[in-house]
Amino acid sequence: MEAILHRHLGYEKVDPAGHSGGGSISRGEAYDTEFGRVFAKHNAKRGSFEMFEGEYAGLAAIAATGAICCPKPIKVIDLGENGACLVTDYVDMGGRSRGLVQKFGKQLAEMHNHNAKLLKEAEQRENFVGSGQEGQPRFGFEKTTCCGALPLRNEFMASWPEFYVQNRLDPQVQRILEKNGDRALKNIYPELLHACEKLFSDYEAVPPALVHGDLWSGNWSSTAEGEPVIFDPAAFYGDPEFEEGIMNMFGGFGKEFWSAYHEILPSKPGRDKRVLLYELFHNLNHW
C-alpha cells in the first residue's frame, strides 16, 4: 500500500501508523504522510472501484452539509485485478459519552434538513440576482452506492413512494427470487405492494434529504475531541425516515437521541408504520 500511495498521490513520506480498521466488506490501515495522517481502505473484489466511487461521493456530500463530521475523501485508486482502495483523511475516534447521543441526534437532523434549506433558499433567490449552493429536488444519487456489498439503484425520481418501491424494495425482492426462487416471497410480494399503496396513501411529501443510508450503531462513533462522526455511508437523497429503518432494526438509539432529533425534524403521522416498511429493505438485504 505504501508504494500505491507514493505512486498515485505523490506522497514522499508514507509510514504505517499502526491503526487498522474496517468491517466485513473492506479492511484499512492508517499512514502518516507529509500532509498528515490518512486512512486507506482496500477491497480486492470485482466492483470495488465503483463501490468506493459511491462511498467517495457520499462522504463528499455529507461533508458539504457542514452538519456532522465524517472522513474527508481524498482519492479512489483503481488497482485493476487487485480491486481498488479509497483514501480519506484519518479520524481519531474516541468513546461515546452520554451527552454525545443528544448532539448526534441534533446533527443528524441538521444533515437531513440541509437540502430542504438549500431548496428553499434557491426558491427565494429566483427573483434576485446572485447565486448560491443548489439543492437536489429529486430522490436518488449521482453515483451507485452500496449498502454493505449490495449496489443500490439510485436513478433520480420525483416521487419518494415510487422511488422506494422501484429502486429499493423491488430490486431486493427480484435479487432474492433470482438467487433462490423463494416461492413464499413470490406469492406474498403482490400483497406487499398493495400494503405499500395503503401505507403511502396519506403520505405527506417531503423534500429529498441526504441520508447516510446504512446508519446502524457500528457506522458512527465520536472523534477524540468528542464530536459525533459517521462513516461507511450508502448515501442518497431520500425521505429522512428511511434512515430510521436500520436504526430501528439494530437499535442503540434511545429516547435522548430521538428527542434531540425531533426538535429539528418533528415526527410525522404514520411514521412508525413507514419505518417498519423501510426496515424491511434491510431485512431483505440480510435474507
β-bridge mates for residue 30, sequence order: 39
**Residue tagged active-site, from 32, 89, 170, 214:** 214
Going by C-alpha positions, the residue among 102, 213, 80, 219 that lies closest to residue 152 is 213
78 is catalytic: no
3-class DSSP state of 128:
coil
Cα-Cα-Cα-Cα torsion 146, 244, 260, 54, nearest 10 degrees, comes to 10
Which residues of the chain form beta strands (DSSP E)? Answer: 15-22, 27-33, 36-43, 73-78, 84-89, 93-94, 146-147, 150-151, 209-211, 220-223, 228-230, 236-238
Going by C-alpha positions, the residue among 30, 26, 29 that lies closest to residue 45 is 26
Q: Phi first, then psi: what are they for 74, rounded to 5°?
A: -110, -50
Residues carrying an active site annotation: 214
